[in-house]
A = this chain, B = another copy of it.
Amino acid sequence: MPKATIDDVAELAGVSIKTVSRVFNREPNVRESTRDKVQRAISELNYQPNKAAQNLAGHRSRLIVLIYDDPSAYEIPSAGFIIRMQEGALRACRTANYELLIHPCRYRIKDVAKEMKALIEQVRPDGIVLAAPLSNVRKIVTAIEETDTPLVRVSPGKTNGKLFSVATNDREVCAEMTRFLASLGHKKIAFIMGHPEHKAVGNRFLGYKDGLEQSGLSFSEDLVASGDNSILSGEACAATLLKRKDRPTAIFAANDDMAAGVIRVADRLNIEVPGQLSVAGCDDIALAQQIYPALTTINQPLAAMADQAVMLLIDSARKSRTTQETAVVPATLKVRESTGPAPKD
């Protein structure tokens, strides 16, 4: 059986194709009885509109493209990141009856801009979700903007600029984590900063400081170390911090890998976690649950962010693009086993 077209439906229902189109697209000004007739014809023929035709005639594709960094998506540790994003984006697409195209992108190659434009002009998506870290690569953002396609950038850290974007309350939640540690009685809470290139880094550090202040603790340079986001660097930082005679009773690392490094070092130095040392991380990667003790960390609501991003895109298509805004999806503390009351001395 050849697939039914709008003409078939129109004929069967005894109306014009335009009326069928109206019914299918829930347009107003169709009499109830006509609507019924058409509905029956539609379901009888099992009619499904051809997207290509809709797209061509209607200038909208019901397609969202999710663009993310290519090689990093396939490295096991970050696979979770992109899967979560996809999960959220797909959820929003599904409810709005959109489809999702995924497009990994190597931003280091010269022709990214050209590649992006080609992609966009070919498929004409109704919107684009640009995942971190690409969300801060200027030439990509610019290329997309030049095509006039609605764009939402998703990034756990704050995105600079005034475009649509969705972010988390990184700073606030890091303050919350710090307060949480303080509330357990910790007075000497150390912080391990991450790779300075990461956008998120600054905010997390600021959040840490906020948290100290809010808890009535004073900030000390001596309790801050700088890593590069790797487990190894976490170990190095921990070694430094823990060797001090007046050592911290809690260490808050700007990401989970470094926190894992801290736990390793504590184990080596025979410092009990969480008995003698509380450790907290950030990101809630898979590893966080797999290590012992399971890591207290901050859950990144990646799926929710992507979901939000797609919804923004779809809404902005309906209404005219409103004021430029950035949505914030709150991250939450995941308290597990690596934190506990401060040791009494």
CB distance from A257 to the nearest CB of B (A): 13
B-contact bits for A84-121, CB 8 A (1 contact / 0 none):
10110010000000011111100000000000011101
Interface check A333, CB cutoff 8 A? no
Say whether, besides A79-B79, A123-B51, A124-B50, A99 and B90 are in contact (CB < 8 Å).
no
Contacting residues, chain B, for A99 (C-beta < 8 A): 101, 103, 119, 123
Describe A's contact surface by its main secondary structure.
Answer: helix
User: Given B53, B74, B124, which contacts A87 in the complex, CB threshold below 8 Å?
Assistant: B74
Interface size in chain A (residues, C-beta < 8 A): 37
> A residues within 8 Å of B by Cβ?
3, 46, 48-53, 55-56, 61, 73-74, 76, 79-80, 82-84, 86-87, 90, 99-104, 117-119, 121-124, 286, 290
CB distance from A235 to the nearest CB of B (A): 17
Q: Are A80 and B90 in contact (CB under 8 A)?
A: no
Contacting residues, chain B, for A290 (C-beta < 8 A): 290
Q: Are A52 and B55 in contact (CB under 8 A)?
A: yes
Q: Are A56 and B52 in contact (CB under 8 A)?
A: yes
A70 to B256, CA, bound (A): 27
Q: Are B83 and A49 in contact (CB under 8 A)?
A: no
